[in-house]
Amino acid sequence: MQIEILEFVEGAKKARGLAVIIDVFRAFSVACYIIDGGAARLIVTGTPEQAFKIKGKYRNSILAGERNEKKIEGFDLGNSPTEIIKTPLEGKTVILTTTAGTQGLINAVNADSIITGSLVNATAVAQFIKHLNPAHLSLVAMGYRAEISAEEDLICARFIADRLRGKNTSFDEQISDLRKGSGKRFFLKENIDFSPPTDFFLCTMADRFDFVLQAEKMSEGIYCLSKKEI
């Protein structure tokens, strides 16, 4: 298996074979919490405008997402796992759009298949990949706002790659150190309303979930994420 680590939307566009679109803070951690919360369907899209249109097609649906880390005007929820776990989602359709994660997913147009990745299900992702055994694997770290390298996404990519290579490297210290680095924004007073400290801990709880989310294209720029058990 050939493994490459790419970054940002450009990396997603270059992804081949099986693509893993990684966004730890926070889109694809949030996606796992949405599915774990009992949502009947999780749809991801690139723009708020598309999200509003999709909402009109589904009864009992919820809009979730952010721009510049904050909840989009007219949306029901932001991109906060803290907010997600407090919201009854059983049987609902959730429509998600974010600055980085969902942009990577919809731009992975050259990949044969796509799954999402985060620390909360990193081992499950590695096991799923090992089972599929693709000839080529593209690990795409989406970064902060899809523009700046994000250590949490790169840690997640290295975690998955090491497990596939048979290495049981411990990343515990690096994950903990995120609090002093890319994760320190969750502890700033001015961010508490939309990026509370609990988001940091919920997103760095490695291997909380034992499932993978696989993307299935619905139409141009719109995908459904389906739960795949390991």
The DSSP letter of residue 77 is: B
Left, alpha or beta for 141 (phi > 0: left; psi -120 to 50: alpha)? beta
Spell out the per-residue pLDDT of the chain, length 230, in tens.
999 999 999 999 999 999 999 999 999 999 999 999 999 999 999 999 999 999 999 999 999 999 999 999 999 999 999 999 999 999 999 999 999 999 999 999 999 999 999 999 999 999 999 999 999 999 999 999 999 999 999 999 999 999 999 998 999 999 999 999 999 999 999 999 999 999 999 999 999 999 999 999 999 999 999 999 87
pLDDT at 230 (0 to 100):
77
Antiparallel, parallel or unpaired: β 113-117 and 18-22: parallel
Q: Which residue's structure tokens are 């298996």?
A: 1
Residue 169 sits in which domain range? 2-229
Give the number of domains in the chain: 1
Q: What is the dihedral of CA 12, 30, 65, 86, to 10 degrees?
A: 180
State the CATH number of the domain containing residue 6. Answer: 3.90.1560.10
Query: Residue 7: which of 112, 108, 121, 125 has the closest Cα?
Result: 108
**Angle at CA 165, nearest 5°, toward 163 and 169?**
50
Query: Residue 27: which of 137, 86, 106 has the closest Cα?
Result: 106
CA–CA distance, 115 with 34 (Å, rounded to integer): 16
pLDDT at 74 (0 to 100):
98
Would you call 54 helix, strand, or coil by DSSP? helix
pLDDT at 229 (0 to 100):
85
Q: From the centroid of its chain, how far is CA 88?
A: 20
Q: Using alpha carbons only, how large is the chain's radius of gyration in Å?
A: 16
- Give bridge partners of residue 223 from the DSSP assignment: 44, 217
